């Protein structure tokens, strides 16, 4: 584009800037504003209350539960999803027949709508009719059918499992693309040096895709932390709040009880927690890469 | 890569296990959707119905379902068209302009894709309420275009920066109007990127649940994910119908994905891998 066409450039950008300004950046600031104002269903006019709602939310034992659940949920899903995604990428990158078909089939959970996924797995977990119990009893893993989603001790694990099932194909996709950039000649050289598959993995493959692993983990961290549909449809945050995470709590408080101030406060807190999580991960990652310089 | 017989067998076994892990729930969903209501699926369940029938599909395709389906179709089609058009224009500006302000704005685009929907939904809800747009498809379309724009711009920009500028420069020297140049040279060349982005927006909007649940209240305006969620309460025990509905909700996106997955996979991975 020439200098003369500069106006055109801004014309092209105008609708996007307008929409993003009004419906992404303004609401971001609006949420902070909401968190400082009290309103309710009975008295809908917001009134400035300063940090009052924050101190109320932070004093509420619910907040600790939500925070702990969110951390378990996020770390669990991200770790399992990336390990499984990487393993699947390795398995489907060996040049064996049927590889292309398998890659496409394995991506299917990623396309399956979230609400469908949740309904399907509610059924899979059903104590009487579900396939999970039926398979576990037949293979002798459990003796009696269990209500995985109704027991506060197992609900979180059951929900994490579903999210990993749906999410790992996305990680696999990114890792598969990254594996295409691993230098074949370096792998061959390592083989000639007598390196086994494990050493090749840690000394050649992982250093070569290190950057992608970082991007992938940060990406899945953000997506997982903000997950709503699967958790809501599977458990509504229950039983006994054992699967309540920030997004389900915000929805319940905001649209179930119409306490916008509380919901917005949880929203602001969730952004802060997410920012800390991402920053922590990036710092730790940087730290380990400095200790172990790339070959 | 070459493998010894034993590692080859181990890899194939791993692949079979992976395929089973992924496909078993799909198979189960499909199988139960074909079971007549008379056939029990309690433990020990038969994996495939003795007497497969489409009767669950006929029952599940009730008037409400048709309304939800049509609503989803309208909302997704409008969101895909508007979002991809706006994102293409913006991505073109971002990939061809050389102003420092643009770099800062692109940073704001990347930052915006991290905004949690649950954290920005209340102010958006209030705006829609003031504009009297609650419980309309327009509210959903506006929200969907806004939240999918950042990733769409990012995907398309990654695509456009790789296109050779020489063609555009030659056409510009020949005196082609910049708008004609954009329409006749850039858009056709960017086709694979446009398709990939459209598939992404479709996948996101077809399944979007939080905004649809919060913004719509009447059966006339609800989309499929919310409608399906309502069915759990209403027809909870009738799993055959629920699974038939689920198959009908998923089939369109899965079909589109299989036709266009080449484009989608290339478009999605380009940015993340290149960084």
Domain A73-291 class, CATH top level: mainly alpha
Q: Would you tell me which residues 75-114 of chain B have a C-beta closer than 8 angstroms to some C-beta of chain A? A: 86-87, 89-90, 92-94, 96-97, 99, 105, 108-109, 112, 114
Residues B3, B136, single domain; the answer is no
Give phi and psi for A48, each to the nearest 5.
Answer: -65, 130
Please name the residue that has the structure tokens 């009447």.
B218
Could you read off the pLDDT of B119-143 as tens digits, one per residue? Answer: 999 999 999 999 999 999 999 999 9
Residue B50 vs residue A21, higher pLDDT: A21
With b for 16 or more beta-carbon neighbours within 10 A and e for fewer, the B8-33 pattern comes to eeebbebbeebbeebeebbebbebbb
pLDDT computed for residue B44 by the predictor: 52
Kindly determine whether residue B89 and residue A219, on different chains, have CB atoms separated by under 8 Å. Answer: no
User: How many CA atoms does the CB half-sphere of B70 hold within 13 Å?
Assistant: 10
Expressed in percent and rounded to 5, the helix, strand and coil fractions of chain B are 75, 0, 25
Alpha-helical runs (H) found in chain A = 6-20, 26-35, 52-59, 61-91, 99-106, 108-111, 114-124, 131-138, 155-179, 184-192, 197-200, 206-208, 210-225, 229-235, 246-251, 260-291
Q: What is the Cα–Cα distance from A218 to A279, expressed in whole angstroms? A: 9
Length of chain A equals 295
Minimal Cα–Cα distance from B273 to chain A, Å? 6
Please name the residue that has the structure tokens 């179930």.
A256
Residues B202, B95, single domain; the answer is yes
Task: List strand residue ranges (DSSP E) for chain B, in order.
Answer: none
Could you read off the pLDDT of B224-234 as tens digits, one per residue? Answer: 999 999 888 77
Residues B89, B207, single domain; the answer is yes
Residues B104, B216, single domain; the answer is yes
Q: Name which of A12, A22, A115 is nearest B90 (Cβ-Cβ).
A: A12
Cβ–Cβ < 8 Å for A122, A106: no
Give phi and psi for A47, each to the nearest 5.
Answer: -125, 135
Q: Name which of A94, A108, A247 is nearest B1 (Cβ-Cβ).
A: A94
Of B53, B74, B90, the domain-final residue: B53
Could you read off the pLDDT of B61-89 as tens digits, one per residue? Answer: 999 999 999 999 999 999 999 999 999 99
- Integer angstrom CA distances of residue B162 from A9, B14, B156, B217: 19, 37, 10, 45
ipTM: 0.90
Largest Cα span, chain A? 77
Locate A90 and state its tokens: 């390795």
Residues B235, B130, single domain; the answer is yes
- Which residues share a beta bridge with A48? A37
Domain boundaries, chain A: 73-291
Residues B106, B233, single domain; the answer is yes
Residues B21, B41, single domain; the answer is yes
Residues B13, B148, single domain; the answer is no
Which among A264, A99, A232, A112 has a CA at the least distance from the CA of B1? A99
Find, in chain B, the residue whose alpha carbon is nearest to that of A181: B273
Kindly determine whether residue B250 and residue A169, on different chains, have CB atoms separated by under 8 Å. Answer: no
Residues B79, B180, single domain; the answer is yes
Domain count of the fold of chain B: 2
pLDDT computed for residue A182 by the predictor: 83
Q: Is the pLDDT of residue A224 over 70?
A: yes
Domain limits for position B20: 1-53
- Which residues share a beta bridge with A47? A38
Helix (H) or strand (E) segment spanning residue B91: helix B63-96
Kindly determine whether residue B97 and residue A1, on different chains, have CB atoms separated by under 8 Å. Answer: yes
Of B18, B38, B53, the domain-final residue: B53
Cβ–Cβ < 8 Å for A267, B122: yes
Residues B196, B233, single domain; the answer is yes
Could you read off the pLDDT of A74-95 as tens digits, one per residue? Answer: 999 999 999 999 999 999 988 8
Locate B186 and state its tokens: 């850039």
Could you read off the pLDDT of A15-35 as tens digits, one per residue? Answer: 999 999 999 999 999 999 999
Whether omega before B248 lies within 30 degrees of 0, making that bond cis, reads no
Chain A residues in contact with B105 by the CB 8 A cut-off are 13, 17
- When mean pLDDT is compared across A81-90, B33-42, B62-71, B157-166, the lowest value belongs to B33-42
Of B53, B74, B93, the domain-final residue: B53
Q: What is the Cα–Cα distance from A160 to A166, expressed in whole angstroms? A: 10
């Amino acid at each position: 584009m020439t200098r003369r066409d500069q106006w055109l450039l801004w014309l092209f950008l105008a609708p996007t800037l307008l929409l993003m300004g009004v419906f992404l950046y303004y609401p971001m600031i609006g949420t902070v504003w909401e968190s400082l104002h009290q309103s309710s269903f009975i008295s809908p006019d917001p009134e400035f209350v300063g940090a009052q709602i924050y101190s109320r939310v932070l004093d509420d034992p619910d907040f600790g539960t939500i925070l702990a659940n969110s951390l378990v949920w996020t770390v669990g899903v991200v770790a399992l999803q990336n390990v499984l995604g990487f393993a699947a990428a390795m398995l489907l990158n060996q040049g064996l027949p049927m590889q292309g078909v398998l890659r496409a089939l394995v991506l299917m959970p990623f396309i399956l709508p979230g609400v469908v996924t949740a309904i399907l797995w509610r059924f899979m977990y059903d104590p009487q009719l579900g396939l999970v119990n039926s398979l576990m009893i037949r293979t002798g893993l459990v003796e009696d059918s269990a209500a995985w989603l109704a027991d506060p001790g197992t609900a979180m694990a059951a929900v994490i499992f579903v999210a990993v099932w749906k999410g790992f194909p996305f990680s696999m996709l990114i890792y598969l693309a990254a594996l295409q950039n691993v230098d074949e000649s370096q792998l061959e050289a390592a083989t000639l040096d007598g390196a086994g598959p494990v050493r090749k993995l840690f000394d050649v493959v992982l250093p070569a895709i290190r950057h992608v692993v970082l991007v992938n983990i940060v990406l899945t961290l953000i997506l997982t932390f903000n997950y709503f549909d699967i958790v809501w449809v599977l458990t509504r945050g229950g039983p006994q709040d054992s699967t309540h995470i920030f997004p389900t709590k915000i929805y319940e408080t905001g649209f179930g009880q119409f306490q916008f101030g509380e919901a917005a406060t949880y929203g602001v807190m969730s952004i802060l927690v997410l920012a800390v999580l991402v920053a922590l991960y990036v710092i730790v990652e940087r730290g380990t890469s400095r200790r172990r310089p790339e070959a | 890569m070459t493998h010894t017989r034993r590692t080859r067998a181990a890899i194939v076994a791993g692949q079979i296990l992976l395929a089973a892990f992924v496909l078993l729930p799909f198979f189960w969903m499909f199988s139960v959707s074909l079971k007549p209501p008379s056939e029990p699926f309690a433990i020990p369940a038969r994996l495939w119905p003795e007497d497969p029938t489409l009767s669950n599909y006929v029952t599940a395709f009730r008037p409400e379902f048709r309304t939800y389906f049509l609503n989803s179709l309208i909302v997704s089609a409008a969101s895909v068209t508007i979002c991809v058009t706006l994102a293409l224009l913006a991505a073109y500006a971002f990939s061809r302009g050389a102003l420092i302000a643009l770099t800062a704005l692109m940073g704001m685009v990347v930052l915006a894709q991290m905004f949690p929907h649950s954290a920005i939904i209340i102010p958006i809800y209030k705006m829609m309420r003031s504009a009297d747009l609650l419980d309309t498809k327009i509210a959903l379309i506006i929200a969907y275009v806004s939240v999918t724009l950042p990733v769409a711009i990012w995907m398309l920009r990654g695509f456009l920066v790789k296109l050779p500028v020489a063609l555009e420069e030659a056409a510009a020297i020949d005196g082609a109007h910049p708008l004609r140049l954009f329409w006749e040279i850039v858009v056709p060349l960017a086709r694979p990127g446009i398709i990939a982005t459209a598939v992404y927006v479709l996948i996101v909007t077809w399944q979007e649940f939080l905004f649809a649940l919060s913004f719509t209240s009447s059966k006339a305006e609800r989309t499929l994910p919310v409608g399906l969620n309502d069915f759990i309460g209403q027809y909870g025990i009738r799993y055959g119908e629920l699974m038939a509905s689920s198959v009908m909700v998923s089939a369109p996106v899965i079909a589109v994905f299989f036709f266009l997955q080449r484009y989608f996979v290339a478009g999605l991975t380009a940015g993340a891998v290149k960084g």
